Amino acid sequence: MARKLYQMTIHELHELLKNRHISSRELVVSMFERIDAVEQRVHAYITLTKQEALQQAETADQKISEGSAGPLTGIPIAIKDIFCTAGIATTCGSKILENFVPVYDATVIKKLKQQHAVLIGKTNMDEFAMGSSTETSYFGPTRNPWSLDRVPGGSSGGSAAAVAADECIAALGTDTGGSIRQPAACCGVVGMKPTYGRVSRFGMVAFASSLDQAGPFAKDVTDTALMMNCICGYDPLDSTSVNRDVPDYSRALVREVADLTLGVPKEYFSGPGMDLEVEKAVWHALRELERQGATIKEVSLPHTAYAVAAYYLIAPAEASSNLARYDGVKYGYRTPQETGLREMYELTRSEGFGAEVKRRIMLGTYALSAGYYDAYYKKASQVRTLIRRDFEQAFQICDLIVTPTAPTPPFKLGEKINDPLQMYLSDIFTIPANLAGLPGLSIPCGMSADGLPIGMQIIGNYFAEETMLRCAYCFEQQSEWHRKKPVLA
């Protein structure tokens, strides 16, 4: 049976568009027909921008007719609702920004528009990117397309679910402690967190400034490389942006890993929360890469056990500072009750923020308070340095590190929402890369007995995205996991 347009990849659609076999308008209409059919059940989006998308498609078709189409020209892309979009609401999944409409575009949005990609909507997310299940959104949870009673992961669960459900061709997300890689694993798609500083954070609403990084979700590794080619690069508007040339990542897509040594950290496979099906699937993938010529070597990351504790001091502390701007005065929600200044601050934040955001603000404020800074934040920062050194030592004997992306397949909606500690452990394998500022990628590598996706994480050294993509591409070409699709009638 012939595939629908919305089921195809960026590189497949680019050929059809370039050769004038289809128009961008046809593609966008097909995409919104798909959204109309399944969105009510999945709830991947907060805002849909159909009229704007059709106008952008018309412009894209004109560029194609002029022979100036890039790889993303006319391609429908979904945007996590944490990136500022001029004239379109940017809510961060929060009541406090429910009616906030930016007057400018984030740098990554500008880059997509320069390529004449079609932006079809803003995806659902955990409030202010705080969560691992997309259940803390003020606008309600997103459901996993593979099983509607399961979470899609988080905080970028809306973007991951939209790609998996064919409600977009590719999407943007952000990753602070695993928020691209973990939902990518839960939804059976490819998700990549670049090296910290590789992608501009200008116009991306801040959660934890030293950890946040934008990155793509895609249906396969080739599309991931094409998205990376678009969004990476130096930005003088972002003081943390790295002024370094961006390679053509699509040139890294070769089926050759014989020169690579893959490190397997023993600490990632020995924890009590590891699901046996996940462990088996990742090891099966490793053996396949070994058959393709890669060398497998055990490495040690001894401070991994302290990563979650360090992260949940550093990230809330930075969030406490970043979220202080939401006071009911500058922009966003303001309590309708006429009160004094202090009461207005208190009521605005009490009514505007959800429970998880309040929890992290309180934790972060406490960790930064006089008398506790040295005992908590400073100590967590020291542990962060030790974790970074663990990786530096490991990369002296291996080229990449391969681990499970998440310790379990996607869990049920409501299962962990009232147990924050269990929820936080969902990111135990992804957090260390954020603390160290390293790039990471999740690729589908298996399925559980319940028919739920399992992801394998590939971590590279700083700016080693090309090597990661090459390894992922080689595995993908030997497997069929990325071709499997959830059934949404």
State residue 2's pLDDT score.
76
What confidence tier does 283 reach under pLDDT thresholds 50, 70, 90?
very high
State residue 137's pLDDT score.
98
User: Tens digit of pLDDT for each residue in 240-265?
Assistant: 999 999 999 999 999 999 999 999 99
Q: CA geometry: angle at 482 spanning 190 and 150, to 5°? A: 70
- 269: pLDDT strictly greater than 70: yes
State residue 270's pLDDT score.
72
The residue annotated as part of the active site, out of 155, 159, 241, 448, is 155
Q: How many CA atoms lie within 13 A of 272 on its CB side?
A: 2
The residue annotated as part of the active site, out of 80, 111, 122, 193, is 80
State residue 489's pLDDT score.
59
381 is catalytic: no
- 129: pLDDT strictly greater than 90: yes
Residue written as tokens 């943390």?
A: 240
What confidence tier does 452 reach under pLDDT thresholds 50, 70, 90?
very high
Report how far residue 485's alpha carbon sits from residue 412's, in angstroms, rounded to the nearest whole number: 19
Q: Which helix (H) or strand (E) holds 301?
A: none
Q: What is the DSSP string of 167-232?
A: SSSEEEEEESSSTTHHHHHHHTSEEEEPPTTSB--TTBPPSSTTT-EEEEEESSHHHHHHHHHHHB
Quote the pTM value: 0.97
User: For the chain, what percent of residues have pLDDT higher than 70?
Assistant: 99
Domains of the chain: 5-257 (3.90.1300.10), 305-374 (no CATH)
- 1: pLDDT strictly greater than 60: no
155 is catalytic: yes
Query: Nearest-CA neighbor of 95 among 328, 359, 340?
Result: 328
| Strand partners of residue 48 | 121
Q: What is the mean pLDDT of the chain?
A: 96
State residue 218's pLDDT score.
98
The reply to whether omega before 369 is within 30° of 0 (cis) is no
User: Tens digit of pLDDT for each residue in 415-428?
Assistant: 999 888 888 888 99
State residue 488's pLDDT score.
84
- 297: pLDDT strictly greater than 90: yes
Helix, strand, coil % over all residues of the chain, rounded to 5: 45, 15, 45
485 is catalytic: no
The residue annotated as part of the active site, out of 24, 179, 250, 448, is 179
Integer CA distances (angstroms), 252 to 291, 297, 437, 448, in order = 20, 23, 22, 30
Report how far residue 144's alpha carbon sits from residue 414's, in angstroms, rounded to the nearest whole number: 13
* CB of 202 closer than 8 Å to CB of 111: no
State residue 24's pLDDT score.
98
Integer CA distances (angstroms), 195 to 89, 189, 213, 380, 412, in order = 28, 20, 8, 21, 31
User: Tens digit of pLDDT for each residue in 185-235?
Assistant: 999 999 999 999 999 999 999 999 999 999 999 999 999 999 999 999 999
